[in-house]
Amino acid sequence: MFANFIYFIVVLLIYTTYQPPEKTNFGPFETLFLFLCLIFIFASFTRLQFHKLEKQIYRKNFSALVYKFDTIIARHCVTAILLFIINIYFLNLPSFLKDIPFFSAFPTLQALFFLGIFIFYLSIIWAFAHKPYRLLYKTDDSWQSYVWSNISFSIPVLLPWLFLSGILDFINSLPFELLKQLLATTEGQVVYFLIFLFIIAVIGPAIIQKFWRCKPLENGYNRSRIEFLCKKADLKYANILYWPAFGSRMITAGVMGLVKRFRYILVTGPLLSFLEPDEIDSVIAHEIGHIKRKHLIFYLVFFTGYMLLSYATYDLIIYFIIFSEPVLKLITGMGLSRTATISTIFSITEICIFLIYFRYVFGYFMRNFERQADCYVYTLFDSAKPLISTFKKISVTSGQSPDRPNWHHYSITERIDYLNKCETDKNYISRHDRKIKKSMAVYFTAIILVGIIGYSLNFGAAGKQLSNHFIEKIIFRELEKSPDDPNLYQTLGDIYYNANNYNGVKQAYEKALSLNPDNPHVLNNLAWLYATCDDLSFRNSIRALKLSKKAVTLLKAPHILDTLAESYFVNGKYEKAIAAELRALELVKSNRSHYNKQLEKFRKAAE
């Protein structure tokens, strides 16, 4: 079930790292036709696979069928991700929506639209999986209930992103330039993310339990017994809820919430129906263990650690892409878009980092936290035998092999074996606690080092020197192979500009223009240098005006019109500077403060 979380996050990474190419691969009608054909093929293939499984239900043993059922779902979910990649990178679907005013003003809504497409693909899988599921588990759940149950369990993983991105869109639509400028900086984004993460971690459970349609567990024997156990463990909570997320087949419980006011204990119907009272106690004790051992707080730390890792490796990914220039040339030489190729490499790298981190780092701690929560049962009871018998019942009712592990849990056999060791020797409990403490110490040491490296790469002088030297060296190496490539000289000029190497900027940009005189980026940057350079010996107001005029004819963008206005200004043509800046303000959608200051400067000069 946790695999659905991974699928959604991977899809979100695929979408957010995509950069639309200048030209789509197909026209609108061709794209729509291919899009619908792919849906038809996917739905037909999915229906065929589950129909084959349905025919085997009365001929194979239960465990083998459950394994095959889960395998088909997993494979088709991965296929749905591949289909989503085709939609984004091959059919270029976002390119057809980017100019719609509503979507361009609120990018989160466009992202939700494409996440909705992926949810539609998953719904196809779950809809065709319903009949075999119903026959396997002998349940009367409707297909609508089954599909919604899977969707509702998975969607909350997107809620933090939805609120984070949605609020940012709302802020960008407001006329508060100072706040926008603050959030445009790395420091502002980090502070915004941390504050938001804390808020959503505190109040998020209240939203999620409503989304899952949880209801308070009715008064009676089961509720009284759980309340007594929580009181015994001194655990404060807001409510005990019935959790209908998995229909009528899942024996499980859960706990969510960092603070008492928004902390909920969740139990499913099968847990209360199939387990004995002492077995229910042991499951609730396990969930209490997660709170008492601060596991939920550590999970937040791990999510923050992932963000820090992504931030620290961002520049390294850029270096990798630059270093892969020969490969890029080979790929683009085959007719593929350079922008799409770079976007694909970036997406693949980010997804690999995410999968490795969560599969091996986060997964390692999840497995060991689950074992620590198992051992917490001994804090409240003398024996864990009821928990052991619960695991055996779960194995029988789920149909899954007790020897089958996953990335976030040890196998049932492994969990039972460790509890049996604890039954005979309680030192195994403290031994596991020490293992976790040592592992956390290693993790914190590693994440601090990652933070230091990330800060050095992004803010430190050493990082800037390394960045410039690394890229400059690569460009010179490529220039030896392709001495007439204007893009390389353009990149070299950009690097020199950031390093305030004005002579290098002038030579690189002039060379780029000699090879490609119609590059608006180079024309604009060189004009800005000639109009505003701190070193007056590089000023050339006449050439600045000539270059900026040509840049505007090629690309009417706000920053290029701003350069034209500045060029008019340094040439004493104040009225034309004002007119050009007003044209720039008509085009700019955010961060207007710079343009307003420029306009004010020009008007004062014209008085």
Map 158-226 to HEC letters: HHHHHHHHHHHHHHHCCCCHHHHHHHHCHHHHHHHHHHHHHHHHHHHHHHHHHHCCCEECCCCHHHHHH
Query: Where does residue 500 fall: left (phi above 0), alpha (psi -120 to 50 degrees), or beta otherwise?
Result: left
The more confidently predicted of residues 270 and 607 is 270
Among 64-73, 84-93, 434-443, the minimum mean pLDDT is found in 64-73
Residue 103's pLDDT is: 83
Percent of the chain scored above 70 by pLDDT?
A: 92
Query: The tokens 């009528």 sit on which residue?
Result: 248
Please check whether residue 2 lies inside any domain of the structure: yes
Residues 261 and 156 in one domain: no
Residues 578 and 439 in one domain: no
Check pLDDT > 60 for residue 247: no
How far is 269 from 267, CA to CA, in rounded Å? 7
Residues 174 and 211 in one domain: no
Q: With cut-offs at 50, 70 and 90, classify the pLDDT of residue 423.
A: very high
Q: How many domains does the chain have?
A: 4
Q: With cut-offs at 50, 70 and 90, classify the pLDDT of residue 261.
A: very high
Residues 331 and 415 in one domain: yes
CA-based angle 75:81:82, to the nearest 5? 90
Question: What value does the mean pLDDT of the chain take?
Answer: 87
The whole model's pTM is what? 0.74
Among 161-175, 334-348, 398-412, 568-582, the minimum mean pLDDT is found in 334-348
Residues 439 and 372 in one domain: yes
Among 365-379, 387-401, 505-519, the minimum mean pLDDT is found in 387-401
Mean pLDDT, residues 400-405: 80
Question: Where among 459, 476, 509 does a domain terminate?
Answer: 459
Residues 167 and 208 in one domain: no
Residue 333's pLDDT is: 62
Mean pLDDT, residues 492-517: 89
Q: Can you give the residue range of the structural domain that contains 574?
A: 539-607
Check pLDDT > 80 for residue 269: yes
Q: Which residues of 181-191 are buried (b: 16+ CB within 10 A; e: fewer)?
A: eebeeeeeeee
How far is 420 from 52, CA to CA, in rounded Å? 41
How far is 493 from 526, CA to CA, in rounded Å? 9
SS3 at position 572: coil
Question: Where among 459, 476, 503 does a domain terminate?
Answer: 459
Residues 151 and 61 in one domain: yes
Q: With cut-offs at 50, 70 and 90, classify the pLDDT of residue 367.
A: very high
Q: With cut-offs at 50, 70 and 90, classify the pLDDT of residue 491.
A: confident
How far is 486 from 512, CA to CA, in rounded Å? 5
Mean pLDDT, residues 266-289: 94
Pair 365, 301: CB distance under 8 Å:
no
Q: With cut-offs at 50, 70 and 90, classify the pLDDT of residue 508.
A: very high
Check pLDDT > 80 for residue 63: no
Q: Can you give the CATH number for the domain in which 555 is found?
A: 1.25.40.10
The DSSP-derived string for 78-93 is HHHHHHHHIIIIIS-H
Check pLDDT > 70 for residue 336: no
Residues 584 and 450 in one domain: no
The more confidently predicted of residues 315 and 210 is 210
Residues 602 and 545 in one domain: yes
Residue type, 593: S
Residue 85's pLDDT is: 94
CA-based angle 376:364:426, to the nearest 5? 30
Please check whether residue 506 lies inside any domain of the structure: no
Q: With cut-offs at 50, 70 and 90, classify the pLDDT of residue 464.
A: low
- Single out the residue of 225, 281, 227 nearest to residue 253, CA to CA: 281
Residues 252 and 127 in one domain: no
Residue 470's pLDDT is: 66
Residues 266 and 317 in one domain: no
Question: Where among 430, 459, 488 does a domain terminate?
Answer: 459
- Single out the residue of 83, 9, 79, 84 nearest to residue 49, CA to CA: 79
How far is 43 from 34, CA to CA, in rounded Å? 14
Residues 163 and 205 in one domain: no
Please check whether residue 471 lies inside any domain of the structure: no
